[in-house]
Structure 1
Amino acid sequence: MNNAAPITCSTCGRTLRPDAPEQLCPACLMTGAMEVDDLPATEIRPVEVEAEGLLVAVDDGEGDPAAAAPHEFGGYCLIKVLGKGGMGVVYEAEQIATGRRVALKMLGTQLDSPEVRARFLREGRLAAGVSHPNSVYVFGTEEIEGLPVITMEIVGGGTLQDKLDRVGQLPIVEAVDAMLDVIEGLEAALSKDVLHRDIKPSNCFIGPDGRVKVGDFGLSVSTISSVETFATATGVALGTPAFASPEQLRGNELDHRSDIYSIGSTLYTLLSGSQPFGGNNAVHIVAAVLDEVPKPLDQLRDDVPPELSAVVAKCLAKKPESRFGDYTSLRKVLLPFSSRRPEPEPAPLSRRALAGMIDLSIAWTLPRTLLAASVGALEFSELIASPWYWPFVVASCVWFVAYFGATEGFINQSLGKRLLGLRVTTKSGRQIGIKRAVARSLLSLLAVQTLLVMQALFVFDLVGFGLPGWLYGVIYLSIGLTLLLLPMVTMRRRNAMATVWDKLTQTRVVMPAVDAVRLKVWDRLPACLEQELSDRMEAYPTEIGPYRLTRIVRDPDWIEAIDPALQRIVWLKRRTEPLEPCRREVARPGRLRWLQSVCKQDEVWDAFETKPGVPAAQIVSNSNVTWEASGHWLYDLSLELASASDDRTLPQELSLDHVWITQQGHAVLLDDAYPQGSETTNNVVDLVEDPTEQGALTSSTTKLTQNFLSNVAATTRPHTIPLRARALLVNLRLGKFDRLSFLAGNLRSLLTKPARIDRGSRATALLTVPLLLIATAWITGQANEQSYRAASARWSAAYPGLPPLSTVLLFRHPLQERIGEQTLRIHLAGHYSEFLDDLQFRDDRTDIVATLGDPAMQDFLRRTLKRPPKFSVAELKRADRRVADGLQIIFATWKRSRTLEMLGLALFVLAFTGTVQLAAIMLSGRTVGQAVFGYAVVDDAGAPVGRLRMIARWLVTWIPIAIVLWLTQINPWAYLALVPWLAAAIFAIRSPERGLPEQLTGTWLVPR
């Protein structure tokens, strides 16, 4: 029996569970955390927490060795207090030996215990694993005067909370830009399996360039480790209540969606000036987060678009599965509200026209065809005088508006635009919404409906003034072309090719910029390499400063080592001369960060961070490099070289061995050639002719750096380079860029365009036109069959015992061959003479005549009834019998031939497509598909091929179709020869850059 006294909360006296942490109840623990973390440094109040059963206080610094700043502390001069929190104090400090300014985070003396110290060091280790421009960088950890400290990058612009306190609500673009930076930092942390768990404005730091960095990983945890976590091990929720997710406040298991919640809460605060949930204390705030819904942002601030308000609301969803599933999805929906939205290209007219054909088929032709067929009419125009006409017109118009309104209003793409890679947006790049989408559809409907009005006027002879029929056709065609071309009169490149209705609705049809996806060297650091590093640690126990050596990179002055405290791999380089101060301050992603200098036996070693990766020369030697990879390398290197020219930190020489490719596919410029990159170092560009100019970018070295970048570009397989990039690479080779920043801007633009032909775009280019034609023909055939059945039913009901008139007229030609024209004329004249007046297209004609559809059928009947043959009753009966027998035989044969007819139709469509492609090659040197879908055919050297090679490629593609078309005239089984052709088409989709025709003709497909 356990007689131990119950454990109570040291603050409120509430009875606790035996495993309660810190001997505080969750409410008091949360209240204490909030009071410490959310107050500015000048207002920190003492907060009691209990560690290891000892009640201690965190105060304004009394008792700390550096309570009065400035003060020398170890190798640092503490300048001022930057902030305070539950874990200790952060100082701005200057490293005495180097003069570098850092942020020094020191564990409070009153909190120093094994558990708290372990958590403090874990914070440093997790943060040190995240090396990203949008994450505060950790240089290292050390112990000074018995206290653990973490040295970090100092971010001099304050925090988002500071800015919010100073200026109030942030402009929408600025707030969204800040959150995009935070997303980048958190995504980098997640790639290292780290969750932040405490995102809020006071933990988002503003750098000198205005970019925001994620800091304070004090509550972070690893997603793959069960190390001590201070929260997860005990089930207690830590974090700032107003910004913590509901599952975090409940102490449940967390994933990245918890940080997405905090992003939404932070963005809400930046835009509204207040937290989404308020309360008098932590308990009230926690209850509000769990149970209440924040007021929508667009109701608090008039200029917040409803779409942005909806994005924030989705981030703040109570259930994790209701939020955005990943950072990529969140970034995508926030970009339209930021200053970083890549400018889309105006939709090419050819692609827009093809998308329009597809959409009109779905929104206009298809429903009208099906509606006409439902009552037995072959053509919708045949219903003009019937009672079905106006109900069907209304129904088809409603479908037209609903189709475009729903697809473009909700997802910004109709089906045709989706297939062609187009999108409808506002002028600012945002979703157009239902109102604009409906307005666009009504304008289009007005143009199409005008043609129907003209058709009706001509049919009823209400216009024309006795003009001949051919002139009616000319007028009708002219009006149709005018309505088709009229919207295009406003299209100019300077207005993004906006049509009339684009201008009227303030919308644009564009080709969205593609996401620049880098090719990773590997998804994760291979486990075998991790084990190898662990083995090396035991094999080389020698230490230099805080680092344990692992291997020799270049004997005797380049060593790889590991920081045991941070579990971070570093490079140690021995130098005879001190590193330039400007190089020590470099903090760009395109260069390795200098961490510190350490001494070993009178030798000075500089410690640099290193990133998991491989030398570029190793990639080039082991595999062929594509533009998809090298384009990003050139961009990274041009940015770094441009920045290095400004702060005079250029290396003395450049070569491919000076390029390091990280695990994520980023290119990093090394100060020295990596010795294991290749056996020999070729194409070395020496930048230092005058020692006084070291690190500076003079006019001559501008061309030399372009020469180096051209050497990097030369490693790319030529047939993978898009045509639009070839001109840039030629100018790069000739050194024509006045500034490297100009080159970087050009490369940035190129990276927003497709880098390769993918399977989706290849399938679209191959299949869209043939499938559209085949589908249209098939739907029309099905509609005709439905029309035939409906018409037959109506005629059978009107004339029982007789073959349906619609069927007789449909098969009149084979009937005439089988029973003779005279017999057929007797049958028609003997039963249908009453319809002679109705066949004159009067507005009061009988509705059933509309089911006869084809004008040729009606004309044959009209001529027969105008001059009927003479016949007796017996002759009429005999004619009826022969017509019925003949139809039975003909209909049985017709059913058997339907499958072959559909195959023949598909073959004809393919042959027609091939003929059009050949004509386009002869006229312009490229196919229609190349022009519409934006790809080119190049040779092994990457140059566009000429007409002869294009014709050879056409022959390989289309001659099989011609052969099958000829063979089917001899034997229907020849259709089976299409199977290998279809297999080749499937192979072309699976290998989009080089299908069978390209392999046989030595060509490749690349984006234009």
Structure 2
Amino acid sequence: MNTPNQCPQCGAALPKDAPESLCPACLMSGALPSQSNPDMTMLVEKPKPRVLPTIGEMFGSYRIERELGRGGMGAVYAAEQLESGRRVALKVLSHQLDSADARARFLREGRLAASINHPNSVYVFGTEEIEGTPVIAMELIAGGTLQDRIQHGGALPVGVAVDAALQIIAGLEAAQAIGILHRDIKPANCFTDLDGSVKVGDFGLSISTAGRGESHLTLDGTFLGTPAFCSPEQLRGDELNVRSDMYSVGVTLFYLLTGRTPFEGKNMVQLLANALEKTAPSPTQFRAEVPDSLSRVVLRCLEKLPASRFASYEELRRALLPFSSTAPTPATLGLRFVAMAVDTILIAVLNWTVMGLYYGDFITDPTPFQSAEWLWISLGLFGLQLCYWGMLEGVWGASVGKVLVGLRVARLNRSAPGIPRAMARRFILSWTTLASYVVFSGSYFKTYDAMSHETQMQSFGFIAFGAAYVLCMFVTARRKNGFAAVHDLLTGTRVIQKSAYQPRTVVTQTEAVVAPTEAMPKLGPYHLLSTLSTSDRETISLGYDTRLLRKVWIRQCSTGEPPLPQALRNLARPARLRWLQGERNAGETWDAYEAVGGAPLVNLLHERQPWDIVRHWLHDLSSELDVAAKDGTLPDAPSLDRLWITTDGRVKLLNFTAPGAEATSPATAGNIFLNQVAKSALEGRIVSAQEAEFIVEAPLALGARAVLRDLATPLAVQDFTARLKPLLQTPPCVSWWKRLVTVLACAAPALGIGAFMLLGAMLVGNWRTTQPELMPMMTTLAMHQQMETGGHMTDKTLGYPLAEGKTALEIVIAGRYGQLVRDPKRWSSGTYKLMIEPEQRAEVERIVAAHPQVSDEELQQAEAKLKPLLGAVDNETADGKKLPDAAKIMRTLGHILVNWLLVAIAGVSLVCALVFRCGPLFRVLGIAVVTRDGAEASRPRMLGRACIAWSPVLISALMIQLANPDIFEASLPQYAAQAALIVILVIASLALRQRGLQDRLAGTWLVPG
């Protein structure tokens, strides 16, 4: 008896990490073809050879027609099942079932494989034992395997390879949903149909994840799999989960992209060592045109540790979608400018924050701009900007602004541009900012005056030049080149909209657990569970296959009905039911089909179905109608009652009335039938074939409405399918974040000006305490200017000659502020330069020079003469000795924001709604407003919608106005309550799916424009 440290086959000592407790020599004895063949399958057990069937012989109930392939597990043949006339792919395993346990395992796994029913999975008709040899009968796929395709044509184009991987993922996801791992994913087990679809087959090595205790298919000491495509944990014999199959998907995609596997070796031991120990090479090493971002996705699948791979197939799918063959949607210029505005604001805030932390009061103090250090600070800020775009767009493909509007930057191969390219792209667009830094900090930094008129004009000039330059960069943007700007063309990049992948909506269905007994009636090999529907022509029953433990639909028809044509028996398309078996004799006339979960379409038409669901139904149905019309398998009279919606949201076109469906009238043409389906689903009612000649009335995206409009005209089904396919990748509705952007954009002017005013109020409050002479001085200078120009001050209003008042006021100015003006440091500070105009500064300096020495007596006499005028100035001086009244500042800001700015914005919105229907913001974001029937909302309705949307602002502002005759005396709690009400209503509106409060009250829908 072998000890645990000995090989069970030869008795040799075992290493601690020996896979499946076998020594390398015995492991090698199971090796099949050399490493040049990627299909290296290994079965390590004592072989029991058996002569496989030959071409033309009868093998059980099958006639062997030709060999399709041969491998370590056995051979696959094209065969005909004589009982049904069905042509199948018959996999004959090369070992016998020599025990009851082996037979039980094989039957159990056959049941598992037969339970998978998905368009991207090879359908298993059944498993059985013929002459002690296990046999699996599967659907026959005409297009061969992915491995055949690579061996004959080389590596696939990137988009085609990713499309294949996405379909493999879909098939494996369906298996995972019922608790099955494949364990042997490789190109040789992935089959291509004539329509280009890829199906995962050969679940012979699958294991159930639902019950690990009885799911180990292999005997002790047995390793099943293909080493080149197996995960490290599978090679070591560890516990497996979905990430093991994900590793095999990564190897398969690597093979499709490069024509080779990531790990190779001169012999099996070297191959295993490489796969277990070495890091996988990047696909770009073997094929340069593979995008770097795609290579990173592949390499993440090939991580040694399962936890380092993708967490789910859904996460992997979203990572692969940008590289599929579906053409990306170019970003419109409007969305790009919105994203640019958001990023510009963020950069400005970042710059101001850095400068404020470093310099303090840089707004009014020009000292920082008068030093050479400013050049290096400016260059650092510009470099920080480049890093912002370089990192975000270079690595992840999107800055903050682009994330908010759903855009990404990509190279022509759809990978992220990389940091150098992203920084170069941004430098081309914003070099004018660097130029302005250099000019100010180079030629003018010694004489730079932030508050001078010349400097301000130079600043505005650079800003205007920069804006004009940015606009000029977009002169090349055309729809035909994907709206590529100059910097896009120079760097080989494009700005595209992110993929809008939407999974199909699941149709829920509750089914009772089946417990068939021998007492149940039988029809052929099936137990009859219940009657689903009955009519004069047919009865549909629910049956049960006790061998494969799966349900079937049995259609019993009148005696004399001919057998199904062979073409209908061999149907294996996703939108048609699979025929399983039938009988035509004097006592029995029936056909058995696969039973699919879900519901008849007509049962779902009591309410409107959303476009994101219906578009998939229409695409499935139009594709099937097109193919069926060409191969003669189209039902004579397609109608709504022959459509079944499966639990995974797919359409099945039946040859008979769907179980439980109400009979409906047939359509006369394919496009009319499609329009009948679309109109019924989107309008939420059963539409007759006559009504189907009219346009669908439902709130849809304008692009979808345009496509459906053509169904009411003589349109070829294949043309409709081609036009509908791109709509599967576009957003079906306006997302909540786009609605949020519209709210923020409307509030942005008020918030921006409010923030600016708050900053000003804070500065004024600071000046009142640190520079108490500033505000009184400004008021006094304003009086002096009035006396200079005449204005409302005359001899009569003053009570004495105006010249005397002017002289007295100059004495007051010189007496009160002469010392300040003679202090170069204080008089040249940024605060005084900012608040006092250059002409006023010159006049003050003249007055002080004209009155160099003002005695206390002269000042008192002048103040006494001007006492009525100086009262306000003296009060301001007294107030300046106190801290600023924060509540008063907030009340003033609240008054200006709510009762001026927001009300003004509301007025502009109302005008735009009446004149243009949709304002410019909606057009930039690609949003249209429609009514229930899908037509664009009229101007009066849009005006009503705008009034509803702005009513909280307008009504609350009016209430505050009525409650406070002096609006500046309104209390802070009133404004706080008003703001809270507006915020609550906005949040509530955004929380409602697709339609906000204003749309629900106005009877409108926001849809993609």
TM-score, length-normalised on structure 2? 0.83
Partner of 1:690: none
SS in 1 for 2:884: helix
One-letter code of the match for 2:700? Answer: I
SS in 1 for 2:605: helix
CA distance in 1, matches of 2:476, 2:652: 47
Q: Report the CA distance between 1:173 and its aligned residue.
A: 4.0
1:887-926 aligned within 5 A: 889=880, 891-901=882-892, 903-904=894-895, 906-907=897-898, 909-926=901-918
**Cα displacement string for residues 876-906 of structure 1 (whole angstroms, at most 9, x for unaligned residues):** 9999xx9999366465233333443554565
Q: Report the CA distance between 1:561 and its aligned residue.
A: 1.2
Instruction: Decide whether the 8 Å contact of 2:915 with 2:939 is kept in 1.
Output: no
Change (3 A) 1:423 1:835: same
**Cα displacement string for residues 492-528 of structure 1 (whole angstroms, at most 9, x for unaligned residues):** 2222222222222222222234113322113xx64xx
CA distance in 2, matches of 1:887, 1:250: 86
**1:684 and 2:666 correspond:** yes
Instruction: Decide whether the 8 Å contact of 1:30 with 1:239 is kept in 2.
Output: no
- Name which of 917, 928, 931 aligns with 1:936: 928
Partner of 1:394: 379
CA distance in 2, matches of 1:105, 1:811: 99
Partner of 1:715: 684
**Cα displacement string for residues 286-305 of structure 1 (whole angstroms, at most 9, x for unaligned residues):** 44333221233323333333
Instruction: Decide whether the 8 Å contact of 2:19 with 2:235 is kept in 1.
Output: no
Deviates more, 1:230-239 or 1:950-959: 230-239
Instruction: Decide whether the 8 Å contact of 1:71 with 1:77 is kept in 2.
Output: yes
Partner of 1:134: 120
Deviates more, 1:5-14 or 1:985-994: 5-14
**Cα displacement string for residues 403-437 of structure 1 (whole angstroms, at most 9, x for unaligned residues):** 11112112211111211222222234331111221
Instruction: Decide whether the 8 Å contact of 1:141 with 1:565 is kept in 2.
Output: no
CA distance in 1, matches of 2:554, 2:912: 62
CA distance in 2, matches of 1:380, 1:640: 74
1:325-724 aligned within 5 A: 325-338=311-324, 340-344=325-329, 346-364=330-348, 366-368=350-352, 371=355, 374-378=359-363, 384-450=369-435, 479=465, 482-522=468-508, 526=510, 529-531=511-513, 534-535=514-515, 537-538=516-517, 541-555=520-534, 557-575=539-557, 576-598=561-583, 602-621=587-606, 623-678=607-662, 681-685=663-667, 703=672, 706-707=675-676, 710-715=679-684, 718-724=697-703
Deviates more, 1:888-897 or 1:316-325: 888-897
SS in 1 for 2:475: helix
User: % of aligned pairs identical?
Assistant: 33
Partner of 1:296: 282
CA distance in 1, matches of 2:151, 2:722: 36
Partner of 2:22: 25
CA distance in 2, matches of 1:499, 1:268: 34
Partner of 2:974: 974
Q: Report the CA distance between 1:874 and its aligned residue.
A: 5.1
SS in 1 for 2:422: helix
Q: Report the CA distance between 1:248 and its aligned residue.
A: 2.4
**1:202 and 2:188 correspond:** yes
CA distance in 1, matches of 2:603, 2:1007: 26
Instruction: Decide whether the 8 Å contact of 1:107 with 1:117 is kept in 2.
Output: no
CA distance in 1, matches of 2:26, 2:198: 30
Partner of 2:869: none
Partner of 2:819: 830
Instruction: Decide whether the 8 Å contact of 2:351 with 2:381 is kept in 1.
Output: yes
SS in 2 for 1:488: coil
- Name which of 74, 90, 106 aligns with 1:104: 90
One-letter code of the match for 1:264? Answer: G
Instruction: Decide whether the 8 Å contact of 2:781 with 2:840 is kept in 1.
Output: no
CA distance in 2, matches of 1:750, 1:99: 40
Q: Report the CA distance between 1:626 and its aligned residue.
A: 1.9
CA distance in 2, matches of 1:773, 1:643: 58
Change (3 A) 1:886 1:33: farther
CA distance in 1, matches of 2:224, 2:95: 22
Change (3 A) 1:126 1:828: farther
Q: Report the CA distance between 1:281 and its aligned residue.
A: 5.0
CA distance in 2, matches of 1:715, 1:704: 16
**Cα displacement string for residues 954-996 of structure 1 (whole angstroms, at most 9, x for unaligned residues):** 1222233234335261522431133333222111101143322
Change (3 A) 1:950 1:460: farther
CA distance in 1, matches of 2:67, 2:698: 58
Partner of 2:790: none
**1:748 and 2:725 correspond:** yes
Partner of 2:739: 762
CA distance in 1, matches of 2:914, 2:736: 27
1:840-919 aligned within 5 A: 849-850=829-830, 852=832, 854=834, 856=836, 860-868=840-848, 872=854, 886=877, 889=880, 891-901=882-892, 903-904=894-895, 906-907=897-898, 909-919=901-911
One-letter code of the match for 1:49? Answer: E
SS in 1 for 2:721: helix
One-letter code of the match for 1:866? Answer: R
SS in 1 for 2:957: helix
Q: Report the CA distance between 1:152 and its aligned residue.
A: 0.4
SS in 1 for 2:500: coil
Q: Report the CA distance between 1:647 and its aligned residue.
A: 0.9
Partner of 2:944: 952
Instruction: Decide whether the 8 Å contact of 1:264 with 1:312 is kept in 2.
Output: yes
Change (3 A) 1:890 1:153: farther
One-letter code of the match for 2:886? Answer: K
One-letter code of the match for 1:35? Answer: L
For structure 2, list consecutive stretches of 5 or more residues without a partner in the other structure.
686-695, 785-808, 864-872, 962-966
Change (3 A) 1:875 1:990: farther
**Cα displacement string for residues 708-738 of structure 1 (whole angstroms, at most 9, x for unaligned residues):** 5554554389554223222322221x2331x
CA distance in 1, matches of 2:738, 2:744: 10
Change (3 A) 1:382 1:646: farther
One-letter code of the match for 1:514? Answer: A
Q: CA RMSD in A?
A: 4.2
Instruction: Decide whether the 8 Å contact of 2:913 with 2:943 is kept in 1.
Output: yes
Instruction: Decide whether the 8 Å contact of 1:40 with 1:83 is kept in 2.
Output: no
One-letter code of the match for 1:917? Answer: S
One-letter code of the match for 1:297? Answer: P
Deviates more, 1:583-592 or 1:452-461: 452-461
One-letter code of the match for 1:986? Answer: I
For structure 1, list consecutive stretches of 5 or more residues without a partner in the other structure.
51-56, 688-699, 793-801, 840-847
One-letter code of the match for 2:528? Answer: L
Instruction: Decide whether the 8 Å contact of 1:654 with 1:708 is kept in 2.
Output: no
Partner of 2:45: 49
Partner of 1:269: 255
Change (3 A) 1:361 1:232: farther
Q: Report the CA distance between 1:438 and its aligned residue.
A: 0.4
1:78-117 aligned within 5 A: 78-84=64-70, 88-108=74-94, 110-117=96-103
SS in 1 for 2:734: coil
CA distance in 1, matches of 2:268, 2:283: 23
TM-score, length-normalised on structure 1? 0.83
**Cα displacement string for residues 570-595 of structure 1 (whole angstroms, at most 9, x for unaligned residues):** 11223511111221222111111122
Change (3 A) 1:11 1:824: farther
Partner of 2:206: 220
**Cα displacement string for residues 626-646 of structure 1 (whole angstroms, at most 9, x for unaligned residues):** 222222211111111111111
One-letter code of the match for 1:586? Answer: L
**Cα displacement string for residues 161-203 of structure 1 (whole angstroms, at most 9, x for unaligned residues):** 3444445544444433332232222122222322112112322
One-letter code of the match for 1:957? Answer: A
- Name which of 687, 709, 713 aligns with 1:735: 713
Partner of 1:809: 774
Q: Report the CA distance between 1:915 and its aligned residue.
A: 3.3
**Cα displacement string for residues 783-820 of structure 1 (whole angstroms, at most 9, x for unaligned residues):** 9858997xx7xxxxxxxxx9644x64367557999999
